[in-house]
Amino acid sequence: MKTTRYNNRNNPIAIVIKNFVDKKSGKVIVSRDEIQRRFFGLDWEDQKHILEAFLESGKTDRNWAYSGLLRLWDDSFETKVLELWETYHEERCAWVVVRHCSEAYIINHLEELSVGRNYYFICLRMAERNDFVIERSRLSGRDFVLAMHNAGRVLSHDEALDILYSEVSKWCLSNEPFYEVRDVLRTLHRTASFSSTNIPNISTILYYLFEMRLSDVSVQFHEWDNKVNEVIQGSMEVAELKEKMLSDWEYNQQLAFIAQKYLYHALPQQYKIVEDEEFDKQYSQKIVFSNPHYEMLDGGTDWIEDETSESAPF
């Protein structure tokens, strides 16, 4: 096998491609490896022949070719790519269709192409079409604001504020709020207060709202957020948390749960999926941490270590 690989490396690329295409050559695997190793150092004509060959191959090879076509496109590929899309409906193929194929085709096949996060990229592709409606219901709050910004569309004050509160509500209802904010909390000192702007989606939305000249929305939201910060910092839970001997990971994990509770309580009523009492019952009555395990006292807000659990190193 080593000898085969060595010989393959000395072969002209045309021979390597031929060995890859000929499934009876016994050299398909080593030829595939060699093609992928050399690919970005080859001229366009050779790259084009390789992409054509991989599009004619199996699913793994087609997926590799789709990734290449995102950056290395030629209109001569359109017919083949559309044929593959209509035959297999592979997600990566849809990426290529959305980025490179005709706008008319995308509009006519909008529903089937909107797989995964593709609708967002369709919005980016159609940004200059005034007749294309960006549907908020099909996007996350963050993606909707980015799509509207990219298209130069206008958001009203109320709609922008609605998006921010909706994103806070979504985070508050997450079963694992800490994992969305852990990278931010890792950089903060324990004396720092928790802000909803620690939530990545919120900070991104605020940035683009400022770019869209909606700074008045940011001011109003920050005023609300600052009031919640004061409540969180003055809470009994945070006071007790600061007295505990915890690693930064444990401290931040518990702080996220505390912040989740108070942010939810402070939301305007229309953003609450459940009443505060039900929320507290679901998210604050008993929270179990994995390493080590922690539980919340029934009906209360004091944190205690679960002595029945085994601690494990992080």
The mean pLDDT of the chain is: 86
Angle at alpha carbon of residue 166, lines to 283 and 114, rounded to 5°: 110
Which residue, among 60, 137, 55, has the nearest Cα to 96 in the 3D structure?
55
Q: What is the pLDDT of residue 157?
A: 96
- What is the mean pLDDT of the segment spanning 33-55? 96
pLDDT tens track for 138-185: 999 999 999 999 999 999 999 999 999 999 999 998 887 887 787 777
Question: Phi/psi at 96 (nearest 5 deg)?
Answer: -70, -40
pLDDT score recorded for residue 309 = 34
Between 120-124, 200-204, 277-281, the lowest mean confidence (pLDDT) is in 277-281
For the chain, domain boundaries: 134-314
Write out the DSSP string of 244-312.
S---HHHHHHHHHHHHHHHHHHHS-GGG-SS-HHHHHHHHTS----SSS-EEEPTTS--EEE-TTSPP-
Residues paired with residue 303 on neighbouring β-strands, in sequence order: 296
Model confidence pLDDT, tens digit, residues 91-116: 999 999 999 999 999 999 999 999 88
The percent of residues above 70 in pLDDT, for the chain, comes to 87
Identify whether the C-beta of residue 267 lies closer than 8 Å to the C-beta of residue 165: yes
Sign of CA dihedral 295, 297, 300, 301: negative
Indicate whether 46 pLDDT > 60: yes
